[in-house]
C-alpha cells in the first residue's frame, strides 16, 4: 500500500484509477485503506481543481462509511458551493444530520434542496419539525411545540404526523374541540393512519359530550375502509345502543366485506356469549383464544418500501431510513 501511494505522489495521471481503487476498498469494508488513498490524493500538489473536488467527495464518503460524521460534514461542506457537486453534497449532509438527530441543520439543508428542485424534501422537512416538536413536548413546552408543528404543516399540508401531534398538544391543553379538528384531518391526509387517531378521538368526543358525532365519524371511517379499529369501535357502540344481535349482524357483514382476524375474533366473542355450556363452548373458547394469540403475535406495521415489520409505528424506517413509509398492515392479519 505504501509503495502504491508513493507512486500516486509521483504520477497523478492515474487519479481516476486511484479513485476507483479507493472506492473499491470502501465497498469491501476496508475503509482505512480507502481513507489513506483519498487523503494522499488530496495532498498531491499537481491535482486539477476538479480532481481535488472528486477526492474531497470520496473522502467524505469514506468518513461516512467509518461513522466519522464530523469529518464527513467538513468534507461535504466544502462542496456545497460547487455547482456539479452541490446536490450530492447537500444530500450527504442531510443524511448526516438525520443520523446525528441534528434536526435544525437538517431543515436548513432540506430547504436548500427544495430550492434546487428536490420537492420530496417537503415531506422530510415536516418530519424534522415534528422531531423538534417532540423535544419541546418532552420539556412540557406545548406553546413552542405547537409553533414548530405549524411550521411543519406549512412545509407539508398533507402531513398526517403533524395533524396527530397537533391533536396531542391540543389534548394536553384541554382544548378537545381543536384536537378533534386536527385529528379528523388524518382521514383526508392518509386514511391508512386513521387507526392511530381513534383512541384520542374517542377521548375527545367523550370529554365534549358528543357521542352522536363520535359514532358518525366512525361510520365515515368504516365507509372509507380505514381498518378494523373503526369497525370494532362502531360495533361496541351498536351493542350498547341496540344490543348484541345488531352488533353481531354488523360485524358479520363487515367480515364478509373486509375479512380480518381482528374482526373474526370479535365475532367469536358474540358467539361465545350465546353458546350453551358444554364441550362445544369449550372448543369455541380454545379457538377464540388461539385467534387472539395469532392477532397479538403478528406485527402491526410494515414499511411499504423495504418490507420491514414492527409492532409499533415508526415514522422513520429503521431499515431503509425512509420517512412516512411504515403503515398499518392491511388484510387478513392486519387492519
pTM metric for this prediction: 0.89
pLDDT tens digits in sequence order for the chain, 335 residues long = 555 555 555 555 577 777 888 889 888 989 899 999 998 888 887 788 999 999 999 999 999 999 999 999 999 999 999 999 999 999 999 999 999 999 999 999 999 999 999 878 999 999 999 999 999 999 999 999 999 999 999 999 999 999 999 999 999 999 999 999 999 999 999 999 999 999 999 999 999 999 999 999 999 999 999 999 999 999 999 999 999 999 999 999 999 999 999 999 999 888 888 777 888 888 888 988 998 888 889 999 999 999 999 999 999 999 999 999 999 998 877 66
Please enumerate in sequence order all residues whose Cβ is within 8 A of that of 265, keeping only pairs 6 or more positions apart, or say none. 288, 291, 292, 295
Residue 320, marked binder: yes
Helix (H) or strand (E) segment spanning residue 173: helix 160-173
CA–CA dist 167, 49 (Å, integer): 53
User: How many CB atoms lie under 10 A from the CB of residue 49?
Assistant: 8
Closest C-alpha among 302, 289, 308 to residue 333: 302
pLDDT of residue 329: 94
Question: What do you get for the CA distance between the two ends of the chain, in Å?
Answer: 57
DSSP string, 19-88: HHHHHHHHHTT-HHHHHHHHHHHHH-TT--HHHHHHHHHHHHHHHHHHT-HHHHHHHHHTTTTSTTTHHH
Q: Which residue has the cell 379457538?
A: 287
Task: Establish whether 204 is an annotated binding residue.
Answer: no
Residues in a beta bridge with 172: none
Amino acid at each position: 500500500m505504501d509503495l502504491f501511494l508513493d507512486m500516486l505522489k509521483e504520477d497523478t495521471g492515474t487519479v481516476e484509477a486511484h479513485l476507483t481503487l479507493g472506492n473499491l476498498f470502501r465497498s469491501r469494508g476496508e475503509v482505512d485503506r480507502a481513507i489513506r488513498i483519498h487523503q494522499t490524493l488530496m495532498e498531491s500538489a499537481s491535482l486539477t481543481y476538479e480532481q481535488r473536488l472528486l477526492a474531497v467527495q470520496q473522502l467524505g464518503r469514506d468518513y461516512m462509511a467509518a461513522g466519522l460524521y464530523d469529518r464527513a460534514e467538513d468534507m461535504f461542506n466544502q462542496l456545497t458551493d460547487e455547482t456539479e457537486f452541490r446536490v450530492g453534497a447537500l444530500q450527504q449532509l442531510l443524511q448526516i444530520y438525520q443520523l446525528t438527530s441534528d434536526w435544525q441543520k437538517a431543515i436548513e439543508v432540506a430547504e436548500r434542496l427544495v430550492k434546487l428542485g428536490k420537492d420530496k424534501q417537503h415531506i422530510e422537512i415536516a418530519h424534522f419539525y415534528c422531531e423538534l416538536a417532540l423535544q419541546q413536548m418532552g420539556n412540557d413546552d406545548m406553546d413552542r411545540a405547537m409553533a414548530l408543528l405549524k411550521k411543519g404543516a406549512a412545509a407539508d399540508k398533507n402531513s398526517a404526523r403533524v395533524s396527530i401531534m397537533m391533536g396531542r398538544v391540543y389534548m394536553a391543553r384541554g382544548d378537545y374541540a381543536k384536537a378533534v379538528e386536527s385529528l379528523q384531518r388524518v382521514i383526508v391526509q392518509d386514511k391508512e393512519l386513521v387507526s392511530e387517531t381513534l383512541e384520542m378521538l374517542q377521548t375527545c368526543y367523550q370529554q365534549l359530550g358528543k357521542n352522536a358525532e363520535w359514532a358518525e365519524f366512525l361510520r365515515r371511517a368504516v365507509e372509507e375502509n380505514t381498518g378494523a379499529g373503526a369497525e370494532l369501535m362502531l360495533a361496541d357502540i351498536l351493542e350498547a345502543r341496540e344490543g348484541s344481535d345488531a352488533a353481531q349482524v354488523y360485524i358479520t357483514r363487515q367480515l364478509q366485506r373486509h375479512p380480518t382476524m381482528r374482526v373474526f375474533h370479535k365475532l367469536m366473542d358474540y358467539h361465545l356469549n350465546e353458546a350453551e355450556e358444554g364441550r362445544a363452548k369449550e372448543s369455541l373458547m380454545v379457538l377464540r383464544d388461539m385467534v387472539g394469540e395469532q392477532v397479538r403475535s403478528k406485527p402491526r406495521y410494515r414499511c411499504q418500501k423495504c418490507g420491514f415489520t414492527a409492532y409499533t409505528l415508526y415514522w422513520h424506517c429503521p431499515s431503509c431510513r425512509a420517512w412516512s413509509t411504515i403503515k398499518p398492515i392491511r388484510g387478513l392479519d392486519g387492519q
